[in-house]
Amino acid sequence: MAKLKIVKYGDETLRRVCRPVDKITPRILTLLDDMVETMRDANGCGLAAPQVGVLRRIAVVEVEEGNPIELINPRIIAYSGTQCEEEGCLSLPGEWGKTVRPAHVTVRALNRFGEEFDITGSDLLARALCHELDHLDGKLFIDRLAKE
């Protein structure tokens, strides 16, 4: 595994829409492993492929230590409620702001074996899932700052 360089705010890669993964190759598996290592090294709870310069619909989330969630071609299939909490981003170090997100979300994605699965999360997990999926569409948390 290798630690990857995290793309910082201002790099146009962060504003691009990512392409779906057509085939899960050894390169994709290595990317997943490297993204988990990079996220942990940076003390983050999520990382999306464009944050490491790869324009593919891939993200990893880990809100419970030791339990990373790998998401390939993820999409939100259900959401409910609202929460307004502080958010930050590894691509915007030191920047924080309150965002409005769903309180509960269900995401459908593929795992590293190409199997479809659903994950439902609340609170921090819901926020992290939404945050990372936003990255795949070229959106950043600063685009969703709560109106005071």
Q: Is-catalytic flag, 132?
A: yes
> What pLDDT tens digit does each residue of the chain (148 aa) get?
789 999 999 999 999 999 999 999 999 999 999 999 999 999 999 999 999 999 999 999 999 999 999 999 999 999 999 999 999 999 999 999 999 999 999 999 999 999 999 999 999 999 999 999 999 999 999 999 988 6
Q: What is the pLDDT of residue 53?
A: 97
Q: What is the pLDDT of residue 148?
A: 64
Catalytic residue among 62, 70, 87, 132: 132
- Tokens found for residue 7: 């793309």
Instruction: Tell me how far apart the alpha carbons of residues 47 and 14 are, in angstroms, rounded to a whole number.
Output: 12
* pTM of structure: 0.95
Per-residue CA distances from 105 to 35, 40, 83, 123 (Å): 23, 23, 12, 9
| Domain at 12-144, CATH class | alpha beta
- Tokens found for residue 63: 């809100």
- The structural domains of the chain, with segments of one domain joined by +, span 12-144
Tell me which DSSP letter residue 16 carries: S
